[in-house]
Structure 1
Amino acid sequence: MILIIVIVVVLVLLVLFFMSSYNKLVRLSNRVDEGFSTMDVYLKKRFDLIPNLVETVKGYAKHEADTLSSVIAQRNMAKTSKDVMDSENKITNAIQGIFAVAEQYPDLKANTNFMDLQNQLKKVEEDIANSRKYYNALVREYNDVIMSVPTNIVASLFHFEKKTMFEVANASERENVQVKF
């Protein structure tokens, strides 16, 4: 009789462990998705500001505006979170290039529309950087849990996959932007 009670208690504890672990993994996965969605909202806000910036810059630097316009097209083609991350890295570089162009054109640098857009974009870029940090922290926490014993057993049983952090794609994107005419 005691053996049956011990077996039932062990089974109940195992079921409670699996339920608890599964629920924790679901919560963490949802937080990662929420973190990505938050970041995507800021990326969309930046994306909405870019056409105004492009129109302002076009009169001063046609080549750079065309370059930025072509990079914007990549955002429209992004389907997965990996695509979004790749295209956003390219857009970030293009925006840095546009700001560098302002140094070459004193009239553009003094243009109030450009300055207002530049300030708005700088604020959005700060928000994006913060949301990337938040997203990456959530991904790290989630990945830590799915890779740790014993929750890794539950994660593998229910196909919880490792998530990708948002990071700079390659070393050349970490260098200063060079604008040449």
Structure 2
Amino acid sequence: MKYAIIALVVLVVLIAVYIASTYNSFVKGKNSVEEAFSTMDVYLKKRWDLIPNIVSSVKAYAKHEAQTLENVIAARNGGYASMNPQEKIKANSELNEAIKSINIVAEQYPQLKANENFIELNSQLKKTEEDIANARKFYNAVVKSFNNKVEMFPSSIVASMFHFEKKEMFVVDDESERKAVKVEF
């Protein structure tokens, strides 16, 4: 009888240690996902802030392309800081399309492509796009790791006990976005 009580206490302690350890790893994973999104968000914000400068450069050469440029600004408008992560992803998806339209306008103006200011802005945008791609890869890797833990047994039991849910991957929504964004002007 005495050994049965000791065995039961040891079993309860082991279960409690497992639950605490698994809970802590979920917290660590959640924080890693948030950190990865924040890193990606820095680059998305940098691109967000670069767009008005590029549009200003293009406007000087392509005054009659006002509608295209207005569409770019419309895609960029909104309070970036007040958006939630899903809204930021959607807004930047729209911005990808807008950047493509600037690309088309710039192709029509060789003197714009030779402008020093425009070349520098284009270079910054290209670098930012590369940073965003790398940050997306990292974010999705961290999310995958977290989601595996949420869904795999026995950690899925702890996840459901403490309401840890799968996180969303940063995926490309439409077929036109699956193509590489060409930022060469």
> TM-score by structure 2 length?
0.90
Partner of 1:166: 170
Residue of structure 2 equivalent to 1:103: 107
CA contact (8 A) 2:96 2:177 kept: no
Q: Deviations over 1:29-73 (max 9, x none)?
A: 000000000011111111111111011111213232111100001
Query: CA contact under 8 A between 2:33 and 2:139: conserved in structure 1?
Result: yes
1:165 aligned counterpart, secondary structure: coil
Kindly provide the CA deviation profile for residues 98-137 of structure 1, in whole angstroms up to 9, marking residues without a partner as x. Answer: 1232111111111111111000000001001100110010
CA shift digits 1:71-97 (9 cap, x unpaired): 001564862211111111111121122
Q: Is the 8 A contact 1:75 1:87 kept in 2?
A: no
Does the 8 Å CA contact 1:75/1:84 hold for their aligned counterparts? no
In 2, the alpha carbon distance for the partners of 1:175 and 1:163 equals 25
Task: Give the aligned partner of residue 28 of structure 2.
Answer: 27
Is the 1:58–1:65 contact (alpha carbons within 8 Å) kept by the matching residues of 2?
Answer: yes
The amino acid that maps onto 2:120 is: D
Residue equivalent to 2:97: 93
CA distance in 2, matches of 1:70, 1:95: 12
Aligned ranges 1:24-173 → 2 under 5 Å: 24-59=25-60, 60=62, 61-74=65-78, 76=80, 79-173=83-177
Query: C-alpha offsets along residues 140-169 of structure 1, whole Å, 9 cap, x if unaligned?
Result: 000000000000000001011110011111
Root-mean-square deviation (Å): 1.7
Identity %: 47
Distance of 2:14 and 2:84 partners within structure 1: 39
Structure 2 segments unaligned to the other structure (5+ residues): none
CA distance, structure 2, for counterparts of residue 75 and residue 138 of structure 1: 27
Q: Extract unaligned runs of 5+ from structure 1.
A: none
TM-score, normalised on structure 1? 0.92
**Are the counterparts in 1 of residues 36 and 138 from structure 2 also a CA contact under 8 Å?**
yes
